[in-house]
Amino acid sequence: MPLLEGKTGIVFGVANKRSIAWAIAQALAREGMRLAFTYQGERLKANVEELCAAMPDSLILPCDVTVDAEVESVFREVGEKFGRLDALVHSVAFAPREDLENDFVNTSREGFKIAHDISAYSLVALTRAALPLFEQSGGGAVLAMTYYGAEKAVEGYNLMGVAKASLEASVRYLAANLGPKNVRVNAISAGPVNTLAARGIKGFTGMLKHHAERAPLRRNVELEEIGNAALFLLSSMSAAITGEVMFVDGGYNIIGL
């Protein structure tokens, strides 16, 4: 029997076939999980619908994570269709291009607010909205996506690194709050992957090359490897793990010089 047979989940952040969120969704679906997906705007709707065509029992819903009414609507519909929820994947991040490319000291006040609202606070909002459906399952698992730039100053990552630091702190506090409800909250800190979002980072090509040269495994991480790590954290295999940031980066984070 597949590991996640009879389980349900929702994935936020699928943009195209190179998305980390899509790699995670594929791993979950492979093990039998029924999934709901969200998209923001008509531009991404067609992409998500095309990808999910091979999952006939999936649910596809619009959602702007900065609008509470839309968040509530998504989970209300998931509740009506699925009746419960076992897993939530948060793969959502954004910062205005100008603020992302500028030195951090030049970050605008508005850009700072936008980056934190979308990249960090949304995890809190989505998790809170999911709680009634997790309770129907007797608990649940939440997974967020982060990057090493949350812990160390990474050239070119700038404002997003600060927003990811907020996200990682949110993971820990949510885990502490929700452990008594049997809801686990973890994050994956993946090595650089050539996604659409990553291309917005100044000097990203050089980042990929540097990572492959310095990581102990001497290569970059593959999307499938991130998906498999997510499968572990969202399944009963990791039942005693919460509040953690798991590095899936070929060991890059352990290197000093």
The residues that are catalytic are 147, 157
Distance CA 37, CA 31 (A): 17
Are 82 and 95 in contact by the 8 Å Cβ rule? The answer is no
Are 24 and 227 in contact by the 8 Å Cβ rule? The answer is yes
Q: What does the block give as tokens for 160?
A: 């997003």
Residue with tokens 């992409």: 47
Among residues 165, 161, 168, 163, which one has the least CA distance to residue 201? 161
